[in-house]
A and B are shown apart, each in its own frame.
Chain A
């Protein structure tokens, strides 16, 4: 799950199939790891345990750093988990500071299947940062 933040939020297989259409619609619609317009360019690492992820509580460890590698501390970090299927409620967690540039929270995966974890950080100074991580195939408990 490490370095998941660099993966786009659509699977590679699907991306190949729909590449032409996505290329066209990317003119007005973004689908990858989303960063809010104007948000700072940060590097986020994410580690989810246990692996493989199963239904139930999972620990989310996040590391936020600048492009130069300096840790970003003092952020307020919210985590949201959504299934890829409609009609399912989201789950939320607040990540707490766990060291310089490190944040940790617990997210409760309530059903098996594909999930998308969204990380929203309010940075010191008011800037906001948002990133998505695909968590594929959460297994039954």
Chain B
């Protein structure tokens, strides 16, 4: 199918398109983020120990997270394009070559899902948001982990199988409006070189790579959607026919279909990807739950019930409830009802895997609502912080800190939050309905209804959470 001539192609936009097609565009876009990362680490380790006064905590937990989800909503996975960790990794690979292949049993998302849940857990346990030192250590540790994994293993193993931020971006980008994809499939049909995945090597010295192909094993003619795509644009540079663009597409459409995807396979057979969707969605609620008043009463009650004053076991139980018990109960029940009601042949487990993807838009809506709240209400804090940081090193070129600069008023931000939640809810309903139509054209409403109910329950929970008074504590078990 030829691409629609009316389709938007970011690479055809004047100036920006030319920049993105330039083979050094990625490196150039990584350098600013790398420098900012260095500043964050140094300020986190040696700067003020109050989180609102430190660039590490403020940039990481207010600006970066907010910008990340807003860019995913408006465009696509452009953070991975500009990833500062990959900048360091590319530099390191000029010095040494990885020798090993990533073990076959680990070529899935289970490690990354565990790390994703683990980071959410550590974030709550150690109150990372309030601790510049630990935030700086997390950033530095991330650099070390990238160097270790990609220093030992070939290809983009860290991005594809390990990186929790990357997995967040991959699953969120399934609802992004832009996708790196083939412009004219017929051109690929006649292509003999498949440079987009193989890359190009020096014909005189086969060891010298002139141009990389896709390191995440996504073969463009058979690539569907944004899963596992880091927007690195190596394929764009490698294609000798200039046949790959960053094209517009209906957000979340890729969740409604189930073709065999290059480098991924069938979504419906990937329990690990379904688990990622579930952790992504329920983790969004969990992450917001940790910041509202009722959580402290619940935690104290639970701590009393468990006869412990230690935070870790109480948090572990809460994580178990949110990430395991609630999904198993809700999705299992929905699958069982839709199977029985519509007379489906597929098993409950298969249905859970298939429909877990329908929750992604709602989960993304919740992440958007939460992170954009911090982003917008703390938007301008970067100004006095930078002024303060420069003044503290004896270079007050931006003047005295203007601490009155904070962010947008709540009355503007709260409607936006509600809009994101409703948008996500609508997206999830559409995806679930399309999946149900494909599952059973005659009985699609019977298949759809239980999943719509799950979405409605999650929406109500999300709205309730976002309307609770924000209560940022790190000390819920101090009574003990």
Could you tell me which A residues sit within 8 Å of B by CB distance? 9, 11-14, 17-18, 25, 28-31, 82-90, 92, 111-114, 116, 136-137, 140
Contacts and interface: CB of A to CB of B under 8 A. Distances in A.
B406 A88 contact: yes
B296 A137 contact: yes
A28 B46 CA distance: 8
Contacts of B258: none
Nearest to B125: A17
19 contacts: A13-B478, A18-B126, A28-B46, A30-B49, A83-B472, A85-B130, A86-B130, A87-B377, A88-B381, A89-B381, A89-B403, A89-B404, A89-B406, A112-B293, A112-B469, A113-B472, A114-B475, A140-B469, A140-B471
B471 A112 contact: yes
B326 to A, nearest CB: 26
Given A14-B127, A83-B52, A85-B129, A114 B406 contact: no
Contacts of A18: 126, 134
Given A17-B126, A82-B50, A87-B381, A29 B475 contact: no
A111 B470 contact: yes
B293 A140 contact: yes
Q: Which of A17, A31, A113, A114: most chain B Cβ within 10 A?
A: A113
Contacts of A13: 311, 475, 477-478
Contacts of A111: 470-472
Contact of A113 (B61, B133, B473): B473
Contact of A11 (B46, B61, B478): B478
A29 B45 contact: yes
B46 A29 contact: yes
A137 B293 CA distance: 10
A30 B54 CA distance: 15
B296 A86 contact: no
Contacts of A114: 130, 472-475
Contact of B472 (A11, A31, A85): A85
Nearest to A34: B49
Contacts, number: 109
B378 A86 contact: yes
Interface of B: 45-46, 49-54, 57-58, 61-62, 126-127, 129-130, 133-134, 293, 296, 311, 374-375, 377-378, 381, 403-407, 469-475, 477-478
Given A18-B134, A31-B49, 11 more contacts: A13-B478, A17-B126, A85-B61, A86-B381, A87-B62, A87-B374, A89-B405, A111-B470, A113-B473, A136-B475, A140-B471
Nearest to A134: B475
B61 A87 contact: yes
Contacts of B50: 82, 84, 116
Contacts of A89: 52, 381, 403-407
A84 B45 contact: no
Contacts of A92: 403
A140 B294 CA distance: 11
A85 B377 CA distance: 12
Given A31-B49, A83-B52, A90-B52, A137 B378 contact: no
B474 A88 contact: no
A15 B406 CA distance: 30
Contacts of B375: 87
B371 to A, nearest CB: 11
B473 A137 contact: yes
A25 B46 CA distance: 10
When A and B form their complex, which 3 residue pairs have the shortest distance between CB atoms, in order from nearest? A87-B378, A113-B472, A89-B406
B58 A87 contact: yes
Contacts of B377: 87-88
Contacts of B474: 11, 14, 84, 114
Nearest to A32: B49
